[in-house]
């Protein structure tokens, strides 16, 4: 959206918010922090099981495509809205561009994997963030002329907002000293819906919090499962684990960019910590972003208690790493996407 502003003669964007992420803390805050314009259209879909949500977004989006007759529909990432937008456009014979294409975890149990694979089949142009994504697409028989290696648009956002994030008061409010704390994020159903898995992660945190405090901005979904699984008392006993409300983009960027260590089951954080040279432990058995492991600061540690503790101890014993330079993660991905379009 920002890059299109600079090329008004060539691009007239229409921003559609599907409403998949409807919580004010998880949606409105990010529009404000990222200087995103107000959506031109809000579909207001809200929460629903995966296939119902995809169908609802596609059903509400189709009339907009029919009315506006766009040259391109651009879909981003791997959420349900990504696939729904691609399906709706393809049904109406409108060209589709997929930003962040070609990423693969090869874990069929992840709904995001199904979204990624089908969206890449549908899309006319596939904008990849790293060379391994190109390899994945070629291996799946995608024609090379549909693939464009453009770099990582999330790093554009990171560079654009890093300086602004330093004005955030969040660390002062929490009484945190730079590089003396860790940050935890958890939201994937495989981790937070299963009491055994969640319990193993919490057991690791008992040991880790003896070495440094761990700040845990709690995703709304995770808040519900903590209560449902009866884990509140166990968590409260860990004095070094600090649960806080979800943070906006700038506050969260300020928090984790000054952390000693990240523990996460997210995808994007693996990329951003690599770019900033911060050790990251991914609490999953796989990643769709392997370049963050082969070139970056990321380690895949799963959910085994001993493995998490060992990896955390090793990361804390390391001297600070320098940020890694991954090809085309330079803050100019948006311009390359527009050039290709």
Catalytic residues: 187
CA distance 267 to 20: 18
Q: Which residues contact 223 (CB under 8 A, 6 or more apart)?
A: none
Residue pair 154/130 in contact by the 8 Å Cβ criterion: no
CA dihedral 301, 307, 311, 317 (to 10 degrees): 180
List the Cα angle 231/46/157 in 5-degree steps: 85
Q: Which residues contact 143 (CB under 8 A, 6 or more apart)?
A: none
Of residues 190, 166, 251, 179, the one with CA closest to residue 213 = 179
Buried b (16+ CB within 10 A) or exposed e, 200-236: bbbebbeebbeebbbbbbbbebbeebbeebebeebee
Compute the 3-state secondary structure of the chain and give helix, strand, coil in percent, each to the nearest 5. Answer: 50, 15, 40
Of residues 287, 70, 253, the one with CA closest to residue 166 = 253
C-beta pairs of 138-143 under 8 Å, 24+ apart in sequence: none
CA distance 32 to 36: 6
List the Cα angle 59/64/67 in 5-degree steps: 130
């Amino acid at each position: 959206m920002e890059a299109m502003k600079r090329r008004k003669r060539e691009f007239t964007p229409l921003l559609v918010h599907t409403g998949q992420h409807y919580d004010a803390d998880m949606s409105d805050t990010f529009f404000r922090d990222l200087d995103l314009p107000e959506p031109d259209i809000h579909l207001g879909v809200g929460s629903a099981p995966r296939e119902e949500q995809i169908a609802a977004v596609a059903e509400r989006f189709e009339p907009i495509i029919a009315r506006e007759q766009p040259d391109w529909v651009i879909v981003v990432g791997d959420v349900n809205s990504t696939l729904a937008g691609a399906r709706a456009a393809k049904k109406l014979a409108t060209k589709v561009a997929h930003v962040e294409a070609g990423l693969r975890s090869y874990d069929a149990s992840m709904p995001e994997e199904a979204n990624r694979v089908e969206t890449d089949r549908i899309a006319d142009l596939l904008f990849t963030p790293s060379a391994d994504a190109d390899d994945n697409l070629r291996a799946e028989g995608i024609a090379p002329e549909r693939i464009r290696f453009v770099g990582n648009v999330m790093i554009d956002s990171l560079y654009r907002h890093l300086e602004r994030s330093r004005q955030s008061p969040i660390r002062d409010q929490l009484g945190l000293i730079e590089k003396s704390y860790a940050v935890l994020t958890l939201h994937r159903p495989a981790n937070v819906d299963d009491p055994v898995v969640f319990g193993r992660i919490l057991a690791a945190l008992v040991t880790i919090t003896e070495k440094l405090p761990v700040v845990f901005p709690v995703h709304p979904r995770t808040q519900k499962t903590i209560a449902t699984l009866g884990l509140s008392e166990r968590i409260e006993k860990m004095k070094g684990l600090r649960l806080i409300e979800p943070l906006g983009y700038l506050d969260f960027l300020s928090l984790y960019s000054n952390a000693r260590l990240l523990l996460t089951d997210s995808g994007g954080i693996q990329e951003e910590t690599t770019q900033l040279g911060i050790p990251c432990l991914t609490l999953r058995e796989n990643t769709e972003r392997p370049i963050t492991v082969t070139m970056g600061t990321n380690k895949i540690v799963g959910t085994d208690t001993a493995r998490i503790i060992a990896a955390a101890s090793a990361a804390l014993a390391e001297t600070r790493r320098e940020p890694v330079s991954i090809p085309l993660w330079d803050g100019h991905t948006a311009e390359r996407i527009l050039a290709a379009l």
